[in-house]
Amino acid sequence: MTKPIKKIVILGGGTAGWLSAGLLAAEHPHLSVTLIESANVPILGVGEGTWPSMRNTLQRIGIKEIDFITQCDASFKQGSKFINWRNLNEGENYYHPFMNPQGYEHTNLHASWQRIAPTQKFADVVNMQSFVCQAALAPKQLQTPEYAAVTNYGYHLDAGKFAEFLKKHCVKHLNVTHITNDVTEVINDDKDYIASLKTNNNGNITGDLFLDCSGSRARLIGEHFKSEFIAQDHILFNNSAIAAQSPNSHPTQNIASATLSTAQSNGWIWDIALPTRRGTGYVFSSKYQSDESATDTLKSYIAKSTSEQQAEQLNYRVLKFSPGYRQKFWIKNCVAVGMSAGFLEPLEASALAMVELSISMISEQLPQNRTHMSQLETRFNDRFSTRWERVVEFLKLHYVLSERDDTPYWQNIRDLTTTPERLQNLLKLWQFQPPSRFDFIENEEVFSSSSYQYVLYGMGFNTQTPQAQNAFTSAQAGDYFYQQNREKIAQYLKGLPSNRELLNYLLSNNRQPHND
């Protein structure tokens, strides 16, 4: 039990596998890192969005931002725009930007918003980033250093290209051993820890710590260790997606600064703008709509910005998933990362965020030996059980607040009986006070109270303005930050380039990528 951890083996590639390999190899160069992936498992390669945390992750791995942007067809993401989630009224939308409200650490601007500008959208009053997104502006100026920001940002990217880019970097610069082969057997030692993975042509691959990045199959954590899958389809109904890559209507058109999420009769459509194309997909429930009908829904959406002829010619892929997560993510010397740990739906970029949170905790608290590992196993499982519960609650929030009742799908998914009890209690509390940091006391919460505010008030939720003893002081602070935001809106709209302009500038000044 005191044998030191020297060799890490990762089963599965894709974004989860190669991000894990990159971070562990970069931060623990004394360890041996081996990644095994099958040649028979294709990477989906749909458009994908990240959180701002990805900037820090890429830096930790040792990747230059320009190389990432160049080779992954990446653009800048500053939040999400939700269209027709509240109701079907024309032009109904709201933003969930990445930046916190002005003065977030000092005061809660809900009361000031209600007093000063109650007819305006919450995000517009407390934050300038929705205006930046609406104008398709970049999150930084032309000369801003890599990974630095004027407004907080993550990325839109091509997932297939991203995985390939990470693979090249890991193998060439971080000495990760890459094995392309199928695993045929998981071999235990006498303590029921994994001793090795038997492959078709490379023999037995031994290791001390094994990461399961095998996707929804969960080859190690599910099939081998039998960690129970906790289904969430009674809360989050969606279990299918139709994905397509659609062309930009013109090579010089604006590149959206936010992921567009447009509610449909039985789900929602994602629309992610990349420099050369758009990644689109319809997420829906097979209980309420067939694959054929869902494909027609996505075709109609794409045709609005291209043409019916172009929409008909695209390749549409059907993706199936089961919303839920494992009861345990870490068992003995095996840790699940990515879809092997769980998957809900691609709303709010939660999937990649959970990958980053998982591998960061593994890297920062890497066990020294098996005795240490058994302690971390409990901590990791407790932490991520809570995190998955929180993600379920936050995603459900988008549905339960809707006023839509145009289909059985919306009628049922809004029903409070399908809503987690903790979220029901929070909604009762938030009738009298806005979400605050006191509602989310866990270390490293997945979504902060400001995210809940953006969704709550974007969806028209009503909170009574509290008459606290410090109301006058809060009002003064609120007025100050409201005015500060007004000034920043004008300043940023004038001083920031468009996304297209910044990307063209970066690419024209860096013709030769450094990470080949």
Lowest-confidence pick of 24-28, 152-156, 348-352: 348-352
State the pLDDT at residue 35.
99
Q: Is 478 annotated as a binding residue?
A: no
Split at pLDDT 50, 70, 90, the class of 131 is very high
Collapse the DSSP code of 164 into the 3-class scheme (helix H, G, I; strand E, B; otherwise coil) and give the result. Answer: helix
Domain count, the chain: 1
Residue 28 lies in a domain: yes
State the pLDDT at residue 107.
83
User: Is the Cβ–Cβ distance between 35 and 178 less than 8 Å?
Assistant: yes
State the pLDDT at residue 454.
98
State the pLDDT at residue 246.
87
Give yes or no for residue 109 having a pLDDT over 90: no
State the pLDDT at residue 474.
66
Residue 440 lies in a domain: no
Q: What is the CATH number of the domain that holds 21?
A: 3.50.50.60
> What is the C-alpha to C-alpha distance for residues 29 and 27, in angstroms, rounded to an integer?
6
Contacts of residue 75, defined as CB under 8 A and 6 or more positions apart, other chains included, come to: 69, 155, 156, 157, 255, 273, 274, 275, 499, 503
pTM score of the predicted model: 0.95
Give yes or no for residue 472 having a pLDDT over 80: no
Residue 185 lies in a domain: yes
Lowest-confidence pick of 28-32, 34-38, 113-117: 113-117
Give yes or no for residue 1 having a pLDDT over 70: no
> What is the C-alpha to C-alpha distance for residues 269 and 264, in angstroms, rounded to an integer?
7
Closest CA to 388 of 457, 434, 452, 338: 338
Residue 53 lies in a domain: yes
State the pLDDT at residue 436.
86
Considering the candidates 6, 7, 64, 77, report the single residue annotated as catalytic. Answer: 77
Give yes or no for residue 250 having a pLDDT over 90: no
Residue 309 lies in a domain: no
Give yes or no for residue 345 having a pLDDT over 50: yes
pLDDT digits (tens, 9 = 90+) for 56-82: 999 999 999 999 999 999 999 999 999
Secondary structure tally for the chain: helices H, strands E: 16, 22
Q: Is 342 annotated as a binding residue?
A: no
pLDDT digits (tens, 9 = 90+) for 172-198: 999 999 999 999 999 999 999 999 999
Q: Is 348 annotated as a binding residue?
A: yes
pLDDT digits (tens, 9 = 90+) for 425-452: 999 999 999 998 888 876 678 999 999 9
**How many residues in the chain?**
516
- H or E segment to which residue 156 belongs: strand 154-158
Q: Is 14 annotated as a binding residue?
A: yes
State the pLDDT at residue 513.
44
State the pLDDT at residue 469.
42
pLDDT digits (tens, 9 = 90+) for 313-337: 999 999 999 999 999 999 999 999 9
Contacts of residue 199, defined as CB under 8 A and 6 or more positions apart, other chains included, come to: 36, 179, 181, 182, 183, 184, 205
Active-site annotation holds for 121: no
Residue 441 lies in a domain: no
Strand order in the sheet with 342-343: 229-231, 324-326, 342-343
Please give the average per-residue pLDDT across 25-53, as a whole number: 88
Residue 162 identity (one-letter amino acid): F
User: Is the Cβ–Cβ distance between 220 and 11 less than 8 Å?
Assistant: yes
Residue 111 lies in a domain: no
Cα(first)–Cα(last) distance of the chain, in Å?
41
State the pLDDT at residue 467.
64
Phi, psi of 81 (to 5 degrees): -115, 125
Q: Is the dihedral of CA 442, 447, 448, 453 positive or negative?
A: negative
Q: Is 163 annotated as a binding residue?
A: no
Please report the DSSP string for 219-276 in residue order.
IIIIIIT-PPEEE-TTT----EEEEEEEE-SSTTS---SSEEEEEETTEEEEEEE-SS
β-bridge pairing 342-343 and 324-326: antiparallel
Average pLDDT, the chain: 93
State the pLDDT at residue 442.
65
Q: Is 64 annotated as a binding residue?
A: no
- The tokens for 472 are 């006058």
Residue 42 belongs to domain spanning: 7-75+155-230+326-390
Give yes or no for residue 204 having a pLDDT over 90: yes
State the pLDDT at residue 47.
59
Residue 510 identity (one-letter amino acid): N
Q: 3-state SS string over 382-451?
A: HHHHHHHHHHHHHHHHHHHCCCCCCCHHHHHHCCHHHCCHHHHHHHHHCCCCCCCHHHCCCCCCCCCHHH
Q: Is 45 annotated as a binding residue?
A: no
Phi, psi of 166 (to 5 degrees): -60, -40
